[in-house]
Structures are given as structure tokens and as C-alpha cells.
């Protein structure tokens, strides 16, 4: 098999960057923009729903980050 692809796991020290709330908001905004431009009704609705979900996740992430800032470990 000459075109066989080989897949491997990332190295142990692989550092991943997680999206922050502003990234999710940007993607949400883009999904809504695309939904307004899309002529296919089902796809447009799916894009708008995805935008709403991303915005909800951005809000959840912001709230979680705020809670983590306020949280203090118990003193022994």
C-alpha cells in the first residue's frame, strides 16, 4: 500500500492551546454572519444554532474563569 498514511499520538510534552472566550465569541459571530448569507435554509439554521451554542460556551467559560479567580484554596 504505497499511499498508506501513518498516524501517531502527539508527544507527551505536547502543549495544547485551549480557546478562550473571545475566540469562541469570534467564531459565534462568524457562524451567525454565514447563516445570514447562506441560501440553504437548513444549513443557515444549523450555522445560527452553532453560533448560539458557541456564544453560550463563551459565557460559561467567562463565568468559570471568574469563579476560579475568586476561589481560594482552604487554609490548613
Contact 29, 16 (CB under 8 A): no
Q: What is the pLDDT of residue 8?
A: 61
- Whether pLDDT at 10 is above 70: no
Q: Which three cell numbers stand for residue 54?
A: 458557541
Read off the pLDDT of residues 15-66 as tens digits, 9 standing for 90 and up.
555 678 999 999 999 999 999 999 999 999 999 999 999 999 999 999 988 8
User: Could you give the CA distance from residue 30 to residue 38 in angstroms, rounded to a whole number?
Assistant: 12
Residue 57 · residue 19 · CB < 8 Å: no
Q: Regarding predicted confidence, which is higher, 6 or 73?
A: 73
Radius of gyration of the chain (CA): 19
In angstroms, the CA 36 to CA 30 distance is 10
Question: What pLDDT score was predicted for residue 66?
Answer: 86
Amino acid at each position: 500500500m504505497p499511499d498508506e498514511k501513518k498516524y501517531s499520538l502527539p508527544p507527551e510534552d505536547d502543549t495544547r492551546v485551549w480557546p478562550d472566550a473571545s475566540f469562541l465569541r469570534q467564531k459565534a459571530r462568524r457562524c451567525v454572519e454565514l447563516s445570514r448569507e447562506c441560501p440553504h435554509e437548513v444549513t443557515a439554521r444549523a450555522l445560527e444554532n452553532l453560533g448560539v451554542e458557541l456564544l453560550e460556551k463563551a459565557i460559561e467559560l467567562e463565568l468559570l474563569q471568574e469563579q476560579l479567580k475568586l476561589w481560594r484554596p482552604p487554609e490548613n
